[in-house]
């Protein structure tokens, strides 16, 4: 039997690197962000092809390979300014300290922009070194080919090829790509067509990073989430709004920094910065105003896009597609009627996008139209058995037939549950396989989780995971949200029943759950519904603040034993602390 071709996609951005494996039929065999096995948030400057993991992954998913195609999410030929800055020594450590360089027309300082360029340049330069070294050693008879793709095309590929649409408009809204921060595509008959690419430093992504910084948070750690959570606690600040509009303005399908107005506006905005030691609430109005303008700008851009390329369906990707507060308003505020956002719309998802671009360059078949997010690693069964044998002091039950019912009973009695099942989710959100779960009926549950487990700010909301058939009963203008990618408004009477998952503005970042997508998680929520009459659970990622979602059995038990969780469920095994048994 002849060997097969495998397409290995590598997201080699300096932040959120990831690896994806696609077979010769276009099926996704594996996709995972590097931060998960490393357990380092965002895996800054980490390689997507971690050398120690390659033997296990390739043996499991590519056992009969005859040919590998390595696909990268950036063009190796770098833009002119980056080459210029490197030649002048601005993209190395001493160069970041140089003063007297003319400031770039960006809300971020030169050293921040140059640091990102330098890190990304180095990541692209060493892209695939580990993988190629391993393939040369362990697969010496296999052909190995290389492909590099436009960064925004890699974003567009995961959004379009994974979508349920036969035809769609696709917008990529990011911090930056090879030439600019946005790109717009048409998608029809399985083909992507670039319609327009923005150029220059105007960027909604960089804008939101600046807002994050002014609010006192760290965008290098991905704390834009905190701005979104804090925003509903504030009000529109007219002065700040005027200054922010001087930072960024829409010109068709482009963004510009108005000449002569950017730096004076930034100087005045610095006076609004939350200082170290000040409470986060001090920045609530700034967060609200920043989010308000973000939405206003993106509504205008999407309206302009629809006018140029009329379509009912929108596929949205890029880092800005993680703004679930805005995503929930798109079909109400723009002419688009249907929205698709993939489970990993940011740079980790471009690993799969690049792999699919390589596949589609050789095949014209449409890939499957439902992308399961459960594409990552499974927990090691041998390690789980060792835990069962050596976890003295814990009450242990093996429940192959009743694990959902028993876990639902614990949840209904107010227990906090760590839930680890099957393969990990691809993307930043826990979708029922690496989740921390709780009863949404208790109005004090959010504070309890924050104090005992998550150790995070009280203003950040928790998500409702709801059975699809009950969605319209709980949410106004209900839209299915399989990847927890949009926030919708609760119906008032429903919100009163589940206060632990209702944000201060009356919304919830929901996850729609259907049996065919995740049978066990669906079974658990169904059992909780039978127990309580409530068809949803409080669901948040199984981690503590500042750490990635747990990856291994060791990660799960370590977190379980060092926080206030009551129950840990891994597969069919239920572990309970003595006081919770």
Token output for 413: 């009695």
**Integer Cα distance of 220 and 200 in angstroms:** 22
**Integer Cα distance of 9 and 398 in angstroms:** 38
Residue 138 lies in a domain: yes
Q: Do both 114 and 211 map to the same domain? A: no
Q: Do both 353 and 298 map to the same domain? A: no
Token output for 297: 């700008």
- The number of folded domains in the chain is 3
According to the model, what pLDDT value does residue 368 have? 63
Q: Do both 358 and 399 map to the same domain? A: no
**Can you give 179-201 as a three-state secondary structure string?**
CCCEEEEEEECCEEEEEEECCCC
Condensed to tens digits (0 to 9), the pLDDT of residues 187-213 reads 998 999 999 999 989 999 999 999 999
Residue 182 lies in a domain: no
Q: Do both 222 and 301 map to the same domain? A: yes
Q: Do both 263 and 327 map to the same domain? A: yes
According to the model, what pLDDT value does residue 388 have? 96
Residue 165 lies in a domain: no
Q: Do both 434 and 506 map to the same domain? A: yes
Could you give the 3-state DSSP secondary structure of residue 102?
A: coil
- Torsion over CA: 341, 342, 347, 350 (sign): negative
Q: Do both 329 and 441 map to the same domain? A: no
Cβ atoms within 10 Å of 486's Cβ, excluding its own? 23
507 - beta bridge partners?
489
Condensed to tens digits (0 to 9), the pLDDT of residues 253-301 reads 999 998 899 999 999 999 999 999 999 999 999 999 999 999 999 999 9
Q: Do both 387 and 469 map to the same domain? A: yes
Could you give the 3-state DSSP secondary structure of residue 377?
A: strand
Residue 86 lies in a domain: yes
Range 249-274 burial, b when 16+ CB lie within 10 A, else e:
ebeebbbebeeeebeebbeebeebeb
pLDDT below 70 — which residues of the chain? Answer: 1, 367-368
Q: Which residue, chain included where needed, has tokens 């973000």?
A: 294
According to the model, what pLDDT value does residue 1 have? 46
Residue 288 lies in a domain: yes
70 - beta bridge partners?
8, 146
Q: Do both 550 and 419 map to the same domain? A: yes
Give the domain range for residue 216: 204-340
Residues constituting the chain: 581
Q: Do both 290 and 355 map to the same domain? A: no
Q: At 214, which CATH number? A: 3.30.420.40
Q: Do both 458 and 573 map to the same domain? A: yes
Q: Which of 353, 346, 563 is nearest to 580 (CA)?
A: 563
pTM equals: 0.97
- Cβ-contact 83, 182 below 8 angstroms: no
Residue 187 lies in a domain: no
Q: Do both 226 and 116 map to the same domain? A: no
């Amino acid at each position: 039997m002849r060997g097969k071709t495998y397409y290995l996609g590598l997201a080699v951005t300096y932040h959120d690197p990831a690896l994806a494996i696609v077979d010769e039929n276009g099926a996704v065999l594996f996709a995972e962000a590097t931060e998960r096995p490393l357990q380092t948030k965002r895996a800054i400057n980490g390689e997507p092809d971690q050398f120690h993991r390659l033997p296990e992954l390739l043996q499991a998913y590519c056992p009969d390979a005859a040919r590998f195609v390595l696909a990268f999410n950036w063009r190796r030929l770098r833009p002119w300014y980056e080459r210029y800055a490197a030649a002048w020594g601005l993209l190395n450590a001493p160069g970041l300290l140089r003063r007297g360089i003319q400031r770039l027309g960006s809300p971020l300082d030169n050293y921040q922009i140059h640091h990102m360029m330098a890190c990304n340049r180095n990541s692209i330069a060493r892209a695939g070194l580990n993988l190629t070294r391993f393939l040369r050693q362990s697969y010496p008879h296999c052909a190995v080919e290389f492909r590099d793709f436009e960064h925004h095309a890699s974003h567009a590929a995961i959004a379009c090829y994974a979508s349920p649409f036969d035809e769609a408009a696709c917008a990529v809204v990011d911090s930056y790509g090879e030439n600019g921060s946005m790109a717009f595509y048409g998608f029809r008959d399985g083909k992507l067509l670039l319609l327009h690419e923005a150029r220059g430093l105007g960027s909604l992504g960089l804008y939101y990073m600046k807002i994050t910084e002014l609010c006192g948070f760290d965008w290098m750690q991905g704390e834009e989430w905190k701005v979104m959570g804090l925003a509903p606690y504030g009000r529109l600040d007219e002065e700040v709004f005027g200054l922010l509009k001087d930072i960024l303005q829409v010109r068709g399908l482009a963004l510009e920094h108005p000449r002569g107005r950017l730096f004076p506006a930034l100087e005045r905005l610095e006076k609004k910065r939350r200082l170290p030691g000040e409470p986060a609430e001090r920045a609530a109005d700034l967060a609200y105003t920043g989010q308000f303008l973000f939405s206003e700008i993106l509504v205008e851009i999407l309206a302009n896009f629809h006018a140029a390329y009329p379509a009912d369906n929108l596929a949205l990707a890029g880092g800005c597609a993680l703004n679930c507060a805005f995503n929930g308003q798109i079909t109400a505020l723009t002419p688009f009627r249907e929205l698709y956002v993939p489970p990993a719309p940011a740079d980790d998802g471009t690993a799969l996008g690049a792999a699919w671009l390589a596949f589609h360059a050789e095949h014209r078949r449409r890939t499957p139209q439902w992308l399961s997010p459960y594409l990552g690693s499974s927990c090691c069964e041998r390690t789980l058995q060792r835990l069962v044998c050596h976890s003295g002091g814990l009450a242990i039950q093996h429940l192959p037939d009743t694990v959902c019912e028993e876990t639902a009973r614990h949840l209904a009695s107010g227990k906090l549950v760590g839930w680890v099942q099957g393969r990990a989710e691809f993307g930043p959100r826990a979708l029922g396989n690496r989740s921390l779960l709780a009863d949404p009926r208790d109005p004090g549950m959010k504070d309890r989780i924050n104090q005992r487990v998550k150790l995070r700010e009280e203003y950040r909301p928790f998500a409702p995971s709801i059975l699809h058939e009950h969605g319209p009963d709980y949410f106004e203008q209900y839209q299915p949200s399989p990847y927890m990618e949009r926030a919708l408004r609760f119906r008032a009477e429903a919100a009163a029943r589940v206060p632990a998952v209702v944000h201060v503005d009356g919304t919830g970042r929901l996850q729609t759950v259907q049996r065919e997508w995740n049978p066990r998680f669906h079974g658990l929520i169904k059992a909780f519904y039978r127990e309580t009459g409530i068809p949803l659970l409080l669901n948040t990622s199984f981690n503590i603040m500042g750490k990635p979602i747990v990856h291994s059995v060791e990660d799960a038990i370590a977190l379980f034993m060092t926080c206030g969780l009551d129950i840990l469920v891994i597969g069919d095994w239920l572990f309970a602390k003595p006081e919770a048994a």
